[in-house]
Amino acid sequence: MKGKGLTLVYTGDGKGKTTAALGLALRAVGRGMRVLILQYIKSPERTYGEQIALEKLGVEILQLGIGFTWTKTPAEHRDALKRAWQLTKEKVMAGQYDLVVLDEIHSALAIRQFPIDDVLPLEEVIALIQKRPSHMHLVLTGRNAHPQICEVADLVSEVMVRKHYYDRGIPAVRGIEF
């Protein structure tokens, strides 16, 4: 690969942040790049459409979470976040990937129901962005991207919602949300 890796942030309240990151991953795989996707909220206890498709393409995709904050105890979430962050640091700094997606990391960093600063420190996330292997592209997704992460990013795209079928009572749709 030629050039310096970029940091791309997809944030906002609209649908499509993870979808945009997965589109980049697909494009990168098509260009022969090595891709890793780490999902911070999704649980390995479930199966996701993107997981099925990307594994067929040989992309490493790991679900490191245990679901949304209301589904488990704070201690369980803290433990999952701690393990996810440790694995993220190891995988990124090993330098074997060209593109790494940290899916829903912004949402994880924005948790306020219980303390997370000691298991997923914002300062360490920023340091990882700045000190990662120079060729590596990082993509960070999720609502409420921290302003300090936006400051060090090369691209920040905000996805806005104008209309959503959830508002009409339509639940998550197989093949669209999962």
Rounded to the nearest 5 percent, the helix, strand and coil shares of the chain are 40, 15, 45
- The span from the CA of 42 to the CA of 64, in Å, is 7
What pLDDT, on the 0 to 100 scale, is given for residue 2? 60
How many other C-beta atoms lie within 10 A of the C-beta of residue 167?
8
| pLDDT tens-digit map of 13-34 | 999 999 999 999 999 999 999 9
Cα distance from N-terminal residue to C-terminal residue, the chain: 32
pTM over 0.85: yes
Residue 166 per-residue DSSP state: G
| pLDDT tens-digit map of 153-165 | 999 999 999 999 9
Domains contained in the chain, CATH given: 7-168 (3.40.50.300)
